[in-house]
Structure 1
Amino acid sequence: MATKRQAPSDSDARPQPAKRSKPSTPYQHQQRPAHHGKKSFKKAHPVNELKSTVRSLRRLLTRSDDLPANIRVEKERALQTAERDLKEAEKAKKRSDMIGKYHKIRFFERQKAERRLKKAKKALREAEESGDGDVEELRARVEEVEVELNYAMYYPLEKEYVSLFPTRRGKDGEVEEVVKDGERQGDAEMLEVVRKCMKEGTLNDLREGRLSDKGERVKDEEEEEEVARPTKKKAAKPAKSKRAQDEEEEGGDDDETGGGFFE
């Protein structure tokens, strides 16, 4: 006997509501770029904007003869600030350009100098242990190679780098050294400055541009302004009259003798 089919209940007859899917955001699962939240170089060093500001302020001060005195003073101060900011921004931009331009060659020359220094120290150590060879000459060699290494590491970042071991690309496309037998070139004056800074411990100042071409400390603009600013002189005391001087002398005599009216 066939079984009866069960009658559908009310709950089965009702249409089930469709499940709503969460709205998907297209960039929800994407990783943020590394530079997100950081200022671009153009915004960090607005050279063009500062040039425009300086040009506008100069034009305003030159062409507007009827400016009130307080407005003119305010604009002159703003011009001085903008000129100082422009100078700093141009210096920072030049520094960044030089770092990017000579980063690769400085890196390779530093590696080469490190290998030469390691080799020179090994030769010196072997000579000291065995007693063979000119130890003084090998020590001088180690010092020279240390100068080469510091030259590659601490050469001023804002200046054009003069290579110690210049290379050129041959006809077959291979890179070959211009000078053979391990001889170095570079800037002779800068090598002497590096040697001087090694003795004085000012290599970081040389790298950051706080030293001159002769290794002397460069004063900042604020320090120069402090030096150029005239010191305030004390106002001269007015000359005393003859009567006042006589009275002081009489009073001094009384004090020295110890006498007085109430004694």
Structure 2
Amino acid sequence: MGTALITGASAGLGLEFAWQLAAARHDLVLVARNEERLNQIAENIRTVAGVEVEVLPADLAVPDDVERVADRLAATGAHEGPAPVGLLVNNAGFATPGDFTRGRASSELRGIDVMIRALVRLSHAAVHQMVPRGRGAILNVASVAALTAGGTYAAAKAYVRSFTEGLAVDLKGTGVTATVLCPGFTHTEFHERAGIPETAIPDWAWLDAPPVVKQALADVRRGVVISTPSVRYKVASALLRAAPRWAVRAVGKVR
């Protein structure tokens, strides 16, 4: 079934992607900062799913680490080298403070490094390996927040959404596809790590990780460019696109 490389694979959506892809008989390359946790996850997946799992510890805010991951993506399997990656899941990311005036510059810039610079570099490495082979897929994880006025995080996700749409245009006819996943609030460790209590968000707004990932992978297989799981967030996205920007900014002001 091929090999999938997943960034941010040690928790949240990244971990769910790893399990679902392993269940579909994909070999895996797992990328995250915590090597100990990655090794434990890899061993669990090998035992349960019986697939090959590589562990590639990397901090995607560090250029040298990004290049190591890019080198793995560039592998073509020639001369008994590592198997080529057929699916890249750019999932790594984290919440930055919503109010730019109160955030630290280092946090804002780290978010840009991980969610934009690393994603672009890894996407570039992947397409230059996939296009000559005539097959492959890139799945970039954005957010419905891309359509809001929500600080650096929302701006980064807006970049990811627009970048992926442009990439899909460039890849047309190559046999390689690009999909951007735009979920809403999803039960993962993401909000806890960001210090956002789940109780601050109404129950109806929450999605669960397994159906979000299942929908995303189904959309990748179908060549869908924008994947928005659940009817409620499809409606929310349509409203955000149709609303005047002053209204979107007003909502952002009271977030």
Interval containing the TM-score (normalised by the shorter chain): under 0.3
> TM-score, normalising length from structure 2?
0.22
Is the radius of gyration larger for structure 1 or structure 2? 1
Q: Which has the higher strand share?
A: 2
Q: Which of the pair has the greater relative contact order for Cα pairs under 8 Å at 6+ separation?
A: 2
